[in-house]
Structure 1
Amino acid sequence: MDIALTQQQPVSIAPTKARLWTGRILGGLAALFLLVDGLVKFTTVEGVVEAHARLGIPMHLAPVIGALELACLALYLVPRTSLLGALAFTGFLGGAVAIHVRSETPFWFPLVIAAMLWGSLALRDARVIALLRGK
């Protein structure tokens, strides 16, 4: 009995211009929000202090959270590491959802941002769709 082994060649599907630009805009909006959110954590703006108090997060941890957020964003914005950045943000935003659920405040916004990040990446990078399909 002869068994022929074949190696599958990876299929490179380039996104259309519309998908590429939709992904860039969607990711840009999410990145802009995350940039501002990460930077503001290094300040003592009244809104930040109130939000941290409402969520039960000590203010001395705000810069640490901001630094983590900006590190995830840096990974996401570099095309070569964007998948790693999206994975890091999944954990980061999952923690944000947990904090909001624990403090009984609306938790939908971190979910929307995560969906925007992954949706943007899927529109721009065919490897994400291939990963989701298990190929």
Structure 2
Amino acid sequence: MSQILGRVTSIVVVIALLLDAAVDLFAPGMLQAEMTAVQFPPHQAFTLGIVVAACAALYAVPTTAIMGAILITGFLGGAICAHFRVEETLTAPQILSVVLGVAAWGGLYLRDIRLKELLPFRR
């Protein structure tokens, strides 16, 4: 049962990341205000889209899922930091980044026995 929940959670994470990547890649104009607000040049949206898509792809493949989770966590941490840098605290992007990061690791933990062996939770 936990493996099914882990796979479903992981699929939600991958879909969310791919949707974000699609907006970055195919509709960067929608992000212009947000990119400017966190002091990133709007033309970098395309590059961010490629990075997010690559992270999602690595996470989706079982043999590279742990590397994908590490990269996703780093990317989301950078997103959180970008908002802190411009004195935005507890904004929707920050909260979503935390939730997505926890979901990525939670889904991976539930579906991958290797991670359970590495990080056992004891009662």
TM-score using structure 1 length: 0.79
Tell me what 1:62 maps to.
Answer: 45
- Aligned-partner Cα distance in 1 for 2:86–2:119: 33
Tell me what 1:84 maps to.
Answer: 67
Which has the higher Rg, Structure 1 or Structure 2? Answer: 1
Are positions 1:124 and 2:106 aligned together? no
CA contact (8 A) 2:28 2:46 kept: no
- Aligned-partner Cα distance in 1 for 2:59–2:22: 16
State the 4+ residue runs in structure 1 displaced beyond 6 angstroms.
Answer: none
Offset, 1:47: 3.3
| Counterpart residue type for residue 126 of structure 1 | I
Are positions 1:113 and 2:100 aligned together? yes
2:40 aligned counterpart, secondary structure: coil
- Percent of aligned pairs with the same residue? 34
- Aligned-partner Cα distance in 2 for 1:122–1:81: 14
2:26 aligned counterpart, secondary structure: coil
TM-score using structure 2 length: 0.87
Q: How many residues align?
A: 116
Task: Give CA-to-partner distance per residue, 1:12-54, whole Å, 9 cap, x none.
Answer: xxxxxx1111111111111111001011112345531221122
Matches within 5 A, 1:1-135: 18-44=1-27, 46-105=29-88, 106=91, 107-133=94-120
Structure 2 unaligned runs (5+)?
Answer: none
| Counterpart residue type for residue 95 of structure 2 | W
1:113 aligned counterpart, secondary structure: helix
Question: What do you get for the CA RMSD once the two structures are aligned?
Answer: 1.4
- Bigger share in helix: 2
